[in-house]
Structure 1
Amino acid sequence: ILLPHAAIPGTLLAILAFSMIGAGVGAAGTSLLAMLASGVVPERRAAAAAITWIMMVAGIVMAAATAGSLIDPFSEQRLATVSGGVALSAFLLAWAAISGIERRLVAPAHQNDDAPSASFGEALREIMADGTARRFTIFVFVSMLAYAMQDLILEPYAGLVFGMSPGESTKLAGLQHGGVMAGMIVAGIGGSAFAGRRPSDLRWWILAGCGGSALALAGLAFAATTGGDWPLRVNVGLLGFANGLFAVSAIGAMMGLAGAGQQSKEGVRMGVWGAAQAIAFGLGGLTGALGVDAARGALASDGAAFQLIFAGEAGLFVLAALLGVRVTMRSASPSMVAAPA
């Protein structure tokens, strides 16, 4: 509402608001992963994390579908009203969900009361000194960077290249997250995360998820200069499905490796990996958005700009697939494997 009448104050307020959203999401997500790793028995950690992600994605799908229906016919006042309603509903629901949760949390299932507590700095040095943990940190960063790059540009892509309205493009994002949820469920039913297997058992799921995401992004890159008849909704749904396969298998590997350290507790290691994930997610969204804007200015073509960014994102997923397969294969050594179910 403020931007059309006072561009500078409106822009500063928008920067502050988005920064607060990012900080809140990063802090809450990292703390939740640490709580899952330290408060759930080892054989159920991956399942708990996967179910948490599925519920999160289900909420995104519901919110996107509802908001997409409500903001058409589009107006700035209508957008502000719907956005405010979504934000207030999310806050109240989150408050109700976490109220008193630490009092109800059972004692950590895997702890040694006699072991000295390690500081975050000591835990970080231990992880960086551990080859497998260090490579997994890099894998988390690269894969989440690739995962997040289309987050802020998919809807503008649908509008600029395919002529979709804001409501239609919002529903398209809901379709993508519906695909993510379906991919997570398929991976879980397939036995990867929910069976409590070793990280090395998950490498084919990671390869399938990252490889499928790269192919789907290559399709979006190709469609950027063809538009029109391209089956965009199918392409976006397949991208979400592959993202879901990757996400749930990465969660399973993360939980399996969380207890591999000799001194660090699971929560601290998950905190480090959660921080890498949060930083990469924020940086990915920023890189994708700034990259498209810069490419549009340099190439003077919307389609070519999106094509460049989607192609780069596909390349990152290929790199993530190679890193993920390598790190999970190396984790097969006895010292790096979490206790099987």
Structure 2
Amino acid sequence: MERGQQAGLSWLGIVRLGLVQSALGSIVVLTTSTLNRVMAVELALPVALPAALVAWHYVVQLSRPRWGHGSDQGRRRTPWIVGGMGVLALGALLATNATALMASSTWAGIALAVLAFSMIGAGVGAAGTSLLALLATRVAPQRRPAAAAITWIMMIVGIVLTAGIGGGLLDPFSMARLAVVASGVALIAFVVTLLATWKMERPAVAPVVAAEVPTPFAEALRQTLADPKARLFAVFVLVSMVAYSAQELILEPFAGLVFSMTPGQSTQMSGVQNGGVLLGMVLVGALGGFIGGKGRGWMRGWTIAGCVGSAAMLGLLTAAAAIGPSWPILPTVFGLGFFNGMFAVAAIGSMMGLAGQGEGPREGIRMGVWGAAQALGFAAGGFLGAVGVDIGRGLMGADAPAFGLVFTLEAGLFLASAIIASRIGAPASSVASPVTGARHVQA
């Protein structure tokens, strides 16, 4: 049963926590995009190096359950959010210095970069997991669609602002200028986090039972994984995130190789896709609490619709690969973004609803388990999508059918995700916890 341990967040409180997401996005885009390009282009290092570092920061995020459990035991999320953001900011600065060091001492720079990206992964895991747990405990059910949309849209805004303003400040490029810009981004992100979380939990702290004995992490993790809903939702997150991220590294190459788009045109196409993502997020945020919002299955319905719609758009991209430049690619990509955005917000809303179920304070570790599944899905999806295209091109001897095959496989994963999501929404009376025997209230 969901616990109302603290007073529900106001809209202003939700926006304040959205600012933390903006801060997270601003630092992550600097480390995973800008430094990626500098290593590959300015330093002429193998593209596999930054790709491996980004993948490593996802691997480190498998520690999310541990961070979430720590915030559960402490009963306050703010120290974990602020501490995680501090580690993330320091990791970003260290990664920038490591990139500069690679110019003179490649192996020393790589060793320092591994440490830096470890800090980045740990910081994102600690801050991001605790932030989601705080939202799960403090946002009223009817506000969860809008809260998920607001926080994720604000993260995108943070990414866009950092890419636009920071990118402009980097020209003319030099390593010294990169260090100054990175320091500014890290400092602003940390200060924004401090202000956004200031006194956020003080008005209503969850009561602590004097005789309560803290649950060891291993036991809390075992109980979480033994819960059929939590376990099935982790599978859903993993499968859907593989489908969601497999397109990221191949969509622009697809536009260039099959539709003969220039780099500028393919970048504009990505803008069209992101416009669709924002519209899908806004739609679910605005209507999610009204269409089906009074029942307990609204999250399942929107999630399934987003998955099925994404599968349909990927099917159209498969057709686009077969037909070629005459296909209306921009509307198709916009549609893919729209259903991706719908799915993403509904999935986050589902996390909020399911996190508060079960016995005792478990929001943090549940969010951690699902965050770890998400990180693993992102790392695997991007890698498998790119490798799948390379293998397909080698076997088929042509670009278009190779991309079409990968898009078809992605569509199948989204359909599988929809089926899994429908099972998560089974009637509450049929789902019992093997740990406590308690019936869960369906989200």
Aligned partner of 2:396 in structure 1 is: 299
Q: Quick one: structure 1 residues 106 and 149, their matched pair in 2 at CA, closer, same or farther if it must change by over 3 Å?
A: same
Q: CA deviation at 1:234?
A: 0.5
CA-based RMSD: 3.6
Aligned partner of 1:284 in structure 2 is: 381
Structure-2 separation of matches of 1:97 and 1:199 = 35
Is the CA contact 1:123–1:263 (under 8 Å) kept in the aligned structure 2?
A: no
Aligned partner of 1:113 in structure 2 is: 208
Aligned partner of 2:136 in structure 1 is: 37
Is the CA contact 2:241–2:377 (under 8 Å) kept in the aligned structure 1?
A: yes
Aligned partner of 2:323 in structure 1 is: 226
Structure-2 separation of matches of 1:258 and 1:135 = 13
Q: CA deviation at 1:92?
A: 5.1
| Secondary structure class of the residue paired with 1:105 | coil
What is the letter of the counterpart of residue 319 of structure 2? F
Identity %: 45
Q: CA deviation at 1:311?
A: 0.3
Q: CA deviation at 1:31?
A: 3.8
Aligned partner of 2:150 in structure 1 is: 51
Aligned partner of 2:440 in structure 1 is: 336
Give structure 1 stretches of 5+ with no counterpart: 71-76
Is the CA contact 1:225–1:304 (under 8 Å) kept in the aligned structure 2?
A: yes
Q: CA deviation at 1:50?
A: 2.6
User: Deviation string for 1:57-76 (max 9, x for gaps)?
Assistant: 34456677x59x98xxxxxx
User: Deviation string for 1:111-163 (max 9, x for gaps)?
Assistant: 44114433332222112211112111111111111111111111111111111
Q: CA deviation at 1:331?
A: 4.4
User: Deviation string for 1:303-334 (max 9, x for gaps)?
Assistant: 11110110000000000011111102344769
Q: Quick one: structure 1 residues 299 and 322, their matched pair in 2 at CA, closer, same or farther if it must change by over 3 Å?
A: same
Is the CA contact 1:33–1:274 (under 8 Å) kept in the aligned structure 2?
A: no
Q: Which of residues 284, 300, 318 is equivalent to 1:203?
A: 300
Structure-2 separation of matches of 1:81 and 1:166 = 28
Residues 197-206 or 292-301, more deviating: 197-206
What is the letter of the counterpart of residue 360 of structure 2? Q
Give structure 2 stretches of 5+ with no counterpart: 1-37, 61-119, 432-438
Aligned partner of 2:267 in structure 1 is: 170
Aligned partner of 2:278 in structure 1 is: 181
Residues 232-241 or 111-120, more deviating: 111-120
Aligned partner of 1:240 in structure 2 is: 337
| Secondary structure class of the residue paired with 1:329 | coil
What is the letter of the counterpart of residue 257 of structure 2? L
Task: Indicate whether 1:14 and 2:47 are aligned.
Answer: no
User: Deviation string for 1:188-210 (max 9, x for gaps)?
Assistant: 22234999656523222122111
What is the letter of the counterpart of residue 300 of structure 1? G
Structure-1 separation of matches of 2:349 and 2:373 = 17
Structure-2 separation of matches of 1:246 and 1:332 = 26
What does 1:302-341 align with in structure 2 at a 5 Å threshold?
A: 302-331=399-428, 335-337=439-441
User: Deviation string for 1:17-44 (max 9, x for gaps)?
Assistant: 5346645365253343234234556654
Structure-2 separation of matches of 1:59 and 1:46 = 20
Q: How many residues align?
A: 331
What is the letter of the counterpart of residue 310 of structure 1? F
Structure-1 separation of matches of 2:181 and 2:251 = 20
Q: Quick one: structure 1 residues 2 and 284, their matched pair in 2 at CA, closer, same or farther if it must change by over 3 Å?
A: closer
What is the letter of the counterpart of residue 371 of structure 2? G
Q: CA deviation at 1:104?
A: 3.1
Structure-2 separation of matches of 1:221 and 1:81 = 45
Structure-1 separation of matches of 2:185 and 2:429 = 41
Task: Indicate whether 1:273 and 2:370 are aligned.
Answer: yes
| Secondary structure class of the residue paired with 2:341 | helix
Structure-2 separation of matches of 1:311 and 1:223 = 12
Structure ID, larger Rg: 2
User: Deviation string for 1:38-58 (max 9, x for gaps)?
Assistant: 455665455433311122234
Q: CA deviation at 1:109?
A: 5.6
What is the letter of the counterpart of residue 188 of structure 1? G
What is the letter of the counterpart of residue 238 of structure 1? G
